Structure 1
């Protein structure tokens, strides 16, 4: 075939392919266009300059708008959420304006001050836990709506959680909008404090209120994309279900409490921090409000081998423990690489089943969530505040629940733990926060405080106090110190140094009470362990867990020990396991 004929054939093939493509595009143009529009809507934030504001003053006006909002939520189950109110004479008035916005640019402004009640279909939308209501500090607005109108707002999400998860700063709505949308929200205090109960709202007020709710949705879209990074040519929308699973632990959680709990736990675990780096950290001249992790150029897992006298592998241990066996003449070094110690005595137990194989398997020095290897912190999957109240047999071997996380994943995990603590606090009537009623170990005795104040005031400022007040203070002191007949310097010093604290009879540590309740009512401590392990798997979705890591690990370990007669029935009952039935010729425990 000639070259000319070959070129003609190629041209015809290209033309045929082009015509075929045009035919497909023409025939399926509606579905393709719809897919592209939906993709762009879900992947790229909406344009805040092209919005539609609907102001609702009555129940009748609300019906069509709420139907439209619900239809928008069928494709993207997220609404921007915000509230406005006024303060008169230092007292807050009921919520005047409720803002709900969709990803399609619709913002509905419900003037609750004119409606006087929440319409039924609006109440259903707010209480629908499948629709996420996003904003900054939305829990505070939800509490105000609950207090003022008796409506619950389900599935609120503080956008600062998403920012932290995506590796960004936790900022206010204005800064989040500027950083992630390059859109400047008008945060003029005169608008924020304007009259939201006015007969008719000004255009500036409408824009202010609508932009806050619309920006919240757009920021959610942008941060969702940051949580699932991909190449710019990949136009597939971020799967909402994937994002929902990641943010599920932070729904209805107060960011200030959750974030503070995370930082407190980070400080508590600072001694467990390992950061592998060759470069020293620069000195910080200005005091920061965040915590810097200490550095330690040492791997956490040494993976030294410990063998029984016959050479059977028992477990992997760290170098320090292996050296201890040698220094105590309890073992003999067999190999240098890997460092291997063989015991000189028969151990209490051998490796049995998957439980035993777990302890035999070498562990990687990396974050079990993301795989990062240069920095990590030990994470107690079952927190110490619970584990320390377990019986010795259940807290003596806890390495299974000590995993390595990088600083970022560690903080995210600690924040998500706040929700489980709160749930356990409610379930076991054991509030997890110190400011909660009945939790403080000590209370302040009012009478002792009055005596101490009188003694301190007279001791330091006695000459400046009016005579009638001095006489009153003298009476307070002599009534308390009934054996004394006059006020002396020694008496004033004793009064000024009084300890006003008294033990709270109702005090019980959160962890202690939760452990006791699980022992008595909720199936034993293996159920509490399982709860925390499943929570960790669900929230963090670790990709690099050690082989044979299992949510039922301790139950299996105790069953092995029970079969070997190395655990008491009392401990099995506390764990929630069936006691071992002894031979009829022996006395039961």
Structure 2
């Protein structure tokens, strides 16, 4: 009774309380929608309220001034827009001239690498290597590879926006229950900017192909470069709104610092599956039975784009024995069974698989040496650096570009310098290899890539003649008469004739448009020729030492040695008479053409159990040579 009287005397308070409760209930009921709306508004505001400021860096001092601000904003947002510009001269790419990074707030830093060259600040290297700060754009991994090749800069945390675009399309498919989703527009940066930001970029070829190595960039060049990087991070923010994983509606209402902290975590969570993964434009996103399966397929394919990950183990614990049951090596199961199928060996055991040869092999391992023990050990299928036992890739410690010039004694039936690395360690090792390449280039005046000239250049005049002839042969009847006359005039001028005959068309269609550089020598060939004078094993050993020092592997096989091959080559050299022509080859391997070595002749006795006619022994020694691409566990 008292309460009723009180309510009658305070109607405004009662009405306000009821209205407040109703509003609170409505807010609670629609809390997810409200949280999403506030989140979208905050992300959109971060893009629309950008205050762009451009810093052009041409010296260490200029970078040191802007680096603290850039690092603070990049860490706050968890990502930066990333792009590079370079110049092409006569169809050949020059080193990267400009590195662009931009934060969502509008801080655009243009680093003129062509001006810095060898004086690149260590803090810039650390910024690029920091995988906690994502570098987003279209094709960032390709740009990072150029930076690695040109300046030995390692860029980690690259995310291609096209990966996220496909994820957004998959979510659109799930929301609309359609059988498939077709991409609207292209997948370039300009197309993504139009789709997500409603903006059109300045892609005038006059700016895109302008001189990025000029002493001073024009305002249009600066705006073009800054916009390319800034648009990348803005597109990411708009994609994040679509790919956001809701945790609590309250997150959208957090104050600035806490909101930024949660935003950076969301960005890392969304992009972590696509870090440093190359994007392929191949249309392999076919519709599947479910969205989950499609996402799994996308992730699996994306991870195999940058490198060819092994689908089966490299090492198999199968043994090959000599006729007297002496172990010879570990061998691939298919190879072992090949001996049995061909009647060259007998099956001793299935588990483990052991095959005994029924003829004397051409050689046996030197059991008293480390090299002999290395051949007989069971090697694990793990990354030799970190120990990861999945998604591993073969690594050639001595790069193939140098190894391909080696004589067969160093590369035939050899797997000592082939190890397994996980994807991350493999990429890191490839980047660090550039350090030694650069050293070799400087020591032996063997510039890498564009600086060393081209093996061949294109003769544009011949190219236009060839294209004109091909067009007339294939499409003459479909072209306007005016165009036919234009093409014929090109051919008449080239052949210096008044009428074009069928013979002229045939000759022109098969023109070689390349101008070959007879004096061209690849960087690796120059280095090989230099070490050919002092001993090729020294080049092998240098690369092995580089791998140990740069990667610091913790799981290398037992008996793996920097000096591998030296004892074996010397032993084989001692079995040859002094007048044998191959002795000079072994000398080149050990001490080079300019060196001297005295290896006494000490012939080994042939075994009594080898075939009298030598047929089966020849079969064994004439087996197909295993190159770097088909190497098995071990051979003889």
TM-score under structure 1 normalisation? 0.51
Tell me the residue number matched to 2:481: 463
Q: What is residue 430 of structure 2 aligned with on the other side?
A: 414
1:345 corresponds to 2:363: no
**1:163 equivalent among 131, 142, 147:** 131
Say if 1:375 and 1:406, in contact at 8 Å, map to a contact too: yes
Unaligned segments of structure 2, at least 5 residues: 1-52, 72-98, 103-107, 135-154, 161-198, 200-215, 220-274, 280-292, 603-636
Output the CA distance in 1 between the equivalents of 2:133 and 2:406: 32
SS at match of 1:363: coil
| Aligned match of 2:404 | 388
Structure with higher RCO (Cα < 8 A, 6+ apart): 2
547 and 102 in structure 1: CA distance in 2 versus 1, 3 angstrom threshold = farther
1:517 aligns with 2:530: yes
Q: How far 1:361 sits from its partner (Å)?
A: 1.2
Q: Secondary structure at the match of 1:300?
A: coil
Deviation at 1:377, TM superposition (A): 1.3
Partner of 2:554: 543
Q: 1:334 to 1:385 in 2, by over 3 A?
A: same
Give the deviation of 1:541 after TM superposition. 1.1
| Shift in Å, 1:83 | 9.3
For residues 548 and 538 of structure 2, the distance between their equivalents in structure 1, rounded to whole angstroms, comes to 15
Q: 1:302 aligns with which of 298, 302, 316?
A: 316
Alignment-derived partner of residue 453 in structure 2 = 438
How far the C-alpha of 1:512 sits from its partner, in A, is 2.9
- The Cα shift of 1:290 comes to 7.2
Report how far residue 340 of structure 1 moved.
1.8
Corresponding residue SS for 2:419: strand
Asked if structure 2 preserves the Cα contact closer than 8 Å seen for 1:306 and 1:315, the reply is: yes
The aligned residue for residue 494 of structure 2 is: 477
Match of residue 84, structure 1, among 44, 55, 58: 55
Report the Cα offset of residue 543 of structure 1.
Answer: 0.7
Q: Distance in 2 between matches of 1:397 and 1:449?
A: 44
Cα distance, 1:362 vs. partner? Answer: 1.0
SS at match of 1:443: strand
Q: CA deviation at 1:358?
A: 0.8
Distance across 2 between alignment mates of 1:439 and 1:302: 43
Taking a change above 3 Å as real, the CA distance of residues 502 and 313 of structure 1, as seen in their structure-2 partners, is same
Q: What's the Cα RMSD here?
A: 5.3
TM-score, with structure 2 as normaliser:
0.48
Residues in 1 aligned to 2:156 and 2:121: alpha-carbon distance in whole angstroms = 26
Partner of 1:145: 115
Q: Secondary structure at the match of 2:62?
A: strand
Residues 172-571 of structure 1 aligned to structure 2 (within 5 Å): 282-284=296-298, 291=305, 298-347=312-361, 348-351=363-366, 352-433=368-449, 435-440=450-455, 442-449=456-463, 451-452=465-466, 455=469, 463-464=481-482, 473=490, 476-479=493-496, 484-488=497-501, 491-492=504-505, 494-520=507-533, 523-565=534-576, 568-571=582-585
102 and 437 in structure 1: CA distance in 2 versus 1, 3 angstrom threshold: closer
Alignment correspondent of 1:47 = none
Query: Given that residues 163 and 169 in structure 1 are in contact (C-alpha distance below 8 angstroms), is that contact kept between their aligned partners in structure 2?
Result: yes
Distance 1:462 1:448, change over 3 A: farther
Partner Cα distance (1:165, 1:574) in 2: 49
* SS at structure 2 position matched to 1:369: coil
Q: What is aligned with 2:63?
A: 99
C-alpha spacing 1:165/1:331, structure 2 compared with 1 (3 Å): farther
Partners of 1:282 and 1:412 lie apart in 2 by 26
The number of aligned residues is: 374
